[in-house]
Structure 1
Amino acid sequence: MKKVLLVLAVLVLAASAFSTVHAQVETMRYTVQSGDTLWALAEKFDTAVVKLLDLNPGITPDRLRIGQELNVPVQALWSYHVVQPGDNVRSLAAQYRVPLEGLLEANGIKNSKLTVGETIRIPMHLYIPPDEQTTHVVEIGETLFGIAKQYKVSLTDLLEWNSIADPDMIFAGQTLIVG
């Protein structure tokens, strides 16, 4: 009886250890496409079918639906940046083409303040490809309104595309997405 209880206790501890590891796996959402299978997705994302099943409770291998969203593991890939004078979280997110939220989360930044000389992690696994975007390098004397007019886009779009909260806070040399 004692052996049974000991084995049961070991199994419970092992199961809780595995669930702790599971919570630390970084994932992204993937939308099922025509022809996708769990086996093909496991190969595509360099993981095991059992891991996909673990990350998506309730799915069955033979019942994937086009448009269904799944959690898939991503391999974390980090770059590091030493903060320079003039750097801010928005400009670094744009420079490295990563989501602002991902940059903030990767570094535990709550108030968007950076300290010169501080080293921050850049979540390169969240890299956003260019998608044929048009960019503009701000020159001395330019305004966001003038740039928006030049590229025939709305000021609202320009602010949103570049995660700019204050339209008066642009600087010469800054690269903006303009279309």
Structure 2
Amino acid sequence: MKHKRLKQSKQLAVALAAAFLLVPVATGMVELNDQQLPVVQAAKGDHGVDWSKYQGANGIWGYSDDKFAIAQIGGTTDGYNCYDQWTYSTQVSGAIAQGKRAHTYIWWQNVTTNWQADQALNYFLPRVQTPKGSIVALDVESGNQNTQAIQHACDRIQQAGYTPMVYGYKNYLLNHVDLSYLSNHEQLWLGEYPDYNVRRQPNFGYFPSFNNVGIFQFTSTYIAGGLDGDVDLTGITDNGYKNGNPQEPKSQTPAVQQGKQIHQVTHNYTVKSGDNLSAIASRYGMTVNALVALNGIQNANLIYPGQVLRVADSGSGSTVTKKATTPITSTGTQVYTVRYGDTLSGIASRYGTSTSTLASINGISNPNWIYPGQVLKLSGGSSTRVYTVRSGDTLSGIASRLGTSWTALKVKNGLANANLIYPGQTLYY
């Protein structure tokens, strides 16, 4: 994980023989203490990555055969206040566009009561952009923890229709929670690194042996510069997708839909000697920025022969460019950041809508006055309504009157205390 992670010294978790008992053996070799030893491959063996904001709006892939990405939606550091990860929805969309499976994780720190767990999940579950059935993992690697609060959260995740997992380092988890109890209820996603050298394949000599491990994070340096590399041991990353097909999610979200739409009008292109991104983008009617965003390219000046890029189909360059460079919020709403020289009518024309619609969605009274840096919603209509709190109102009473729940009102309006509202306050529903 990349959340101000404190690098921990890694110790040998198990004897190699123990790893042999847990996963099937296949041919191959790895280096361990300068000796050649057999590789132990997972039964499923799909490789993938996990992302936070440090991997940018569209994420970074390690290798063309990566099959999944697990993106951070946000989290909590104090157990009370939640934060959003601005990169989450576009990373989900980018993974689907690339033909990869997308999953979700939540940074989980200092959540020590069921009440705190409920507040966090009341906030995040409505914002999950990966499909039903997909992984929603709790990143348990720092701060104070409580076994029952974690299990309560996992139960909530499962009840919401997702696949719960617990991520962390084995030693930390053993010292802070009842890991045996948790592993008897859901699969674990454990990290253990033999070193910080670039590592393409897992070294199972450092496998953190434990009951019910579903994903092994075997390196934080999957590529030069740093990137977490993971291997699926049980096929759990197929969850949420019919037969593991990223283009057949079990439910649709705005980010998944956008990713599918991009995938359907793009195809693979294999970089040849002498190619550069500018020429490739021009050939397929795309901008360089769109090509970089679509493919999660870390350095626009560094591509190599044999690299596989996703490019626009003939006649779809402008469509792909627009979709690949249009951000999505954590609730799935497309947004646009106003630039110098923009007009509301020009933005409306660019995105196939009307000036009056944009003004209505964004509560703009004067369509001739917008400013650089302003964030405009491009979709979502004007369906959001408001209610002005009156004397004697309670949140539960308002919710009943409006046909919604008090928890939904609390989340939508970012209320820290459901019992503290005041006359004249404006609530969105």
- The TM-score normalised by the length of structure 1 is 0.41
More helix by percentage: 1
Q: RCO (CA 8 Å, sep 6+): is it higher in 1 or 2? A: 1
- The TM-score normalised by the length of structure 2 is 0.19
More strand by percentage: 2
